[in-house]
Chains A and B, each alone.
Chain A
Amino acid sequence: MRRGPGACGCSAEVLSYVLKRLLVALPTLLLVAASVFFLMRLIPGDPATVVLGDAATPEAVADLRIAFGLDRPVLVQFALWIERALGGDLGRSITSGEAVGPLILQRFQVTAAIVFASVGLAVLIAVPLGMLAAWKQNSWGDVAAVAAATFLLSIPSFWLGLIFLLVFGLWLGWVPVVGYVTFAEDFWGALHYIALPVATLALIETGVLIRMARASTVEVLRLDYIAHARAKGVPEWRVLARHAFPNAFAPTLTLIGLIMGSLLGGIAVIETVFTLPGLGRLLVEAIFARDYPVIQGVMLLIAVIYVVVNLVVDLLYPVFDPRVAAG
């Protein structure tokens, strides 16, 4: 019989599938790299002018452009960048002089910690809640859950973040308002710093996920196999957990993948509100400074994130829906 690779979770077949998927992603990454590279250079503004300020002499600007390699033809610049990137060197930041690779990874850790924690939390809250709402469709509990979800969806994240800072940071003083330490430096301290951003993001994503989990559960509960399970005398909690959950969760999984992708690519607003040194803020700052190497590096990382997240979702899918086997 045929199994999905996720269902057996072993075998060389899975490994070869993963490798194949990553190989197929290479042209995508190249395309992203090229479009970011050339589109950036279409934006008016020049890093040398930005670095030197308004008072710079034309000579100083020209010298700096040579130092950055910006005087060469664009195609040559691109070829050089690709060549170095393949060797693992993404260049140095024009503004700070730091190596781009380590800089991005360091910032990404902050964003990733917040995103994983908040999406995980959101799934834990939203999926059971959405399923219960669907189970009790049209009851007051269902109406309340849908209303809450819609409300959460419509709150702007920066506003919720500011309110949290005000209440828990200033008034109650439970968590620090500004700053960040890494988990490696101080685990409990780091937890304090990311608590509010995680709560903010989690609440907002909960809204989307409740609606999705509810909608797909409503679909599934209508199907004959649910009636069949009940006709066998299966208790309701087991009907939900065993028969409805795997089938209702599969579409939600796709949505979780999309959410993870877009959040990992940057949560600039949240990072700005909570003054966190994350990937999103790095990107925004780099764009304002025309810091080409940093922008290119971040965009490339975002593309890689999407490829990897989608791959993970595809590998997990057969666990919930065995009809989908990789291939």
Chain B
Amino acid sequence: MTPVLEVERLSIAAGGRRVVDGLSFRIAPGEALALVGESGSGKSATARAVIGLLPPGLAPDGGAIRFEGAALAANSAALRRLRGPGIGMVFQEPMTSLNPAHRIGAQMEEGLALHTRLSPAQRRDSCIAMLERVGITDPASRLNAFPHEFSGGMRQRIMLASVMLLRPRLLIADEPTTALDTLTQAEVMELMSGLAREHGTALLLITHDLGLVARYADRALVMQQGRAVEEGPAAPLLDNPRQAYTRALVDALPRRGPARPAAAASAPLIEARGLCVTYPKRGALFRRAEIFTAVDDVSLAIHPGEVVALVGGSGSGKTTLGRAMLRLVPSSAGQLLFRGQAVTQRSGAALLDFRLACQIVFQDPYSSLDPRMRVRDIVAEPLRLPAGMPMAERLRRAEVMLEEVGLGGLGARFPHALSGGQRQRVAIARALVRDPAFVVADEAVSALDATVRKQVLALLREQQRRRGFACLFVTHDLGVVEEIADRIVVMQGGRIVEQGPRDAVLDAPAQDYTRALLAAALRRPGV
């Protein structure tokens, strides 16, 4: 049988460097192949090359790509006709992959108008049917909506619908769910592999996530620095990796550590009592804005030295709660106590006392560090308060801290000269440099590759054990929680729906929502 896609000794160059180097693989009709690798492995460039959409700066540098036996010439009219009905592509970022200026109906129909002879009414009908298939309620009226009226998960469904509408023989999915929370991720992946199976579409899945591979691919090809490391049927390859690199990837999947003895019955370090956070919704003209309750009457106590994981899907209010506990967002009702003292109304020096004892590590290491400051100045900055420590001493402590997080000697660099993982280490160093009593880690490892994530998590855990700070670890991924948490708190719709010691929640979840989160979590296969 002719393979749908045949890539032979493909090389792609960026300037003088090869980002893909002599890569070969084939995909049979209806087969699902996963290209697995970390950032910079060349997997996305390969996907873009197949559909002839390499970003500027990248160019093919030898090799051949054949679709259903025929060679693909770059930029030819034949390739353009193939895009859509032959090869479809789903992109990573649902927030930017639909055109904000056009209604989704118009965007979906565009492909049909280009590639089929359907009448406008027929096109509309197939759009409605496909939207219904991907689980959009009231599809007929939603056709008139603009992309910004949908959530990220909904947009990714719409994207999938608009691509599958043309019944392509090959679907390329480039990290299709990386930007989504765990629950939505699982739903979209199920939908995608289901649709591919229904239409007999072959799937080229680009991912850094081995959890996805185990579940949704027939075969996997592991890439490292532009070359194939290992290829084979997905399940055996993950269970029994032959190559060291593949093994490292598999080992990077979260694994549960031994439970620590429960914190002694000490007084809570920080405690929320009936905390509420509300936002005015954007109101229409002249109409009173409605109130949106992000955090709804939440009570949560964290003891000294305890690591509490706060878990929930997007919109569950977990990030808002984390920030409210640092008073980074104002609460509308309830109380916040720190070491038994109310801090809800504090201001001036008293508030500063509280602030100095608490720190936060943000999700995105690209935007949480000032690009114009050197790394050592970033880490030294928290030491400026309270005033009095001489500059030389601040810088000395910053260097020691950088040493501790494994960035010794990099203090003179700017953030842009560091990798994502290194930047997150800087963010951690900045949070820990003044020995805080309480740290909020807001999705602190979600933006990182699996192996880097493992290292950064290990660093966080080691620092936590050594310094003994209490930590609220906000995440959508239960898999990450296994490694680090003492206690798990599950949030849904602004409320806490379940909480308890880690093993109890993971092994015997009491709520359906927790069970769904658990099922969707990408954990080590077979564990």
Q: Are A224 and B83 in contact (CB under 8 A)?
A: no
Q: Are B149 and A321 in contact (CB under 8 A)?
A: no
CA distance A225 to B83 in the complex (A): 15
CA distance A235 to B75 in the complex (A): 11
Chain B residues lying within 8 Å of A229, measured Cβ to Cβ, are 99, 110
With contacts A224-B91, A231-B84, A233-B80 taken as known, whether A1 is within 8 angstroms of B149 at the C-beta atoms is: yes
CA distance A16 to B286 in the complex (A): 9
Least Cβ distance of B141 to chain A in Å?
8
Task: Give the residue name and chain of the A residue nearest to B84 (CB).
Answer: A233
A312 at the interface (CB under 8 A from B): no
Q: Are A243 and B99 in contact (CB under 8 A)?
A: yes
Q: Are A233 and B81 in contact (CB under 8 A)?
A: yes
B82 at the interface (CB under 8 A from A): yes
Q: Are B92 and A224 in contact (CB under 8 A)?
A: yes
A72 at the interface (CB under 8 A from B): no
Least Cβ distance of B400 to chain A in Å?
41
Q: Are A234 and B110 in contact (CB under 8 A)?
A: yes
Least Cβ distance of A15 to chain B in Å?
11
Chain A residues lying within 8 Å of B148, measured Cβ to Cβ, are 322-323
- CB-CB contacts below 8 Å: A1-50 with B: 1-2, 13, 16-17, 20
- CB-CB contacts below 8 Å: A121-154 with B: 137-138
Least Cβ distance of B147 to chain A in Å?
9
Give the size category of B's interface with A: 35 or more
Task: Give the residue name and chain of the A residue nearest to B92 (CB).
Answer: A224
Q: Are B282 and A327 in contact (CB under 8 A)?
A: yes
CA distance A232 to B80 in the complex (A): 8
Residue of A138, A223, A326 contacting most chain B CB atoms (<10 Å)? A223
With contacts A228-B91, A228-B159, A322-B146 taken as known, whether A246 is within 8 angstroms of B101 at the C-beta atoms is: yes
Chain B 95-110 interface mask (CB, 8 Å, partner A; 1/0): 0111111100000001
B257 at the interface (CB under 8 A from A): no
Q: Are A231 and B149 in contact (CB under 8 A)?
A: no
B471 at the interface (CB under 8 A from A): no
Q: Are A322 and B83 in contact (CB under 8 A)?
A: no
Q: Which of A230, A322, A327 has a CB less than 8 Å from the CB of B53?
A: A230
Q: Are A320 and B101 in contact (CB under 8 A)?
A: yes
Q: Are A234 and B114 in contact (CB under 8 A)?
A: yes
CA distance A17 to B284 in the complex (A): 11
Interface size on A, residues (CB 8 A): 31
CA distance A233 to B82 in the complex (A): 7
B420 at the interface (CB under 8 A from A): no
Q: Are A322 and B100 in contact (CB under 8 A)?
A: yes
CA distance A224 to B47 in the complex (A): 14
With contacts A16-B285, A227-B91 taken as known, whether A137 is within 8 angstroms of B56 at the C-beta atoms is: yes
A247 at the interface (CB under 8 A from B): yes
Q: Are A232 and B99 in contact (CB under 8 A)?
A: no
Residue of B166, B282, B285 contacting most chain A CB atoms (<10 Å)? B285
With contacts A230-B83, A231-B53, A233-B83 taken as known, whether A321 is within 8 angstroms of B101 at the C-beta atoms is: yes
Q: Are A232 and B166 in contact (CB under 8 A)?
A: yes
Chain A 66-107 interface mask (CB, 8 Å, partner B; 1/0): 000000000000000000000000000000000000000000
Q: Are B101 and A232 in contact (CB under 8 A)?
A: no
Least Cβ distance of A311 to chain B in Å?
14
- CB-CB contacts below 8 Å: B48-97 with A: 48, 51, 53, 55-56, 80-85, 87-89, 91-93, 96-97
Chain B residues lying within 8 Å of A231, measured Cβ to Cβ, are 51, 53, 83-84, 87-89, 163
- What 5 A-B pairs are tightest by C-beta distance, nearest first? A233-B84, A246-B101, A224-B97, A233-B83, A231-B89
Beyond contacts A230-B83, A231-B83, A320-B101: 10 other A-B pairs, Cβ-Cβ < 8 A, are A1-B144, A1-B146, A224-B93, A224-B96, A225-B100, A228-B89, A232-B88, A243-B102, A247-B99, A247-B101
| Interface pairs (18), CB distance under 8 Å | A13-B285, A20-B285, A20-B286, A224-B93, A224-B97, A227-B48, A227-B89, A228-B97, A231-B51, A232-B110, A232-B114, A232-B162, A233-B81, A233-B82, A233-B114, A246-B101, A321-B100, A322-B100
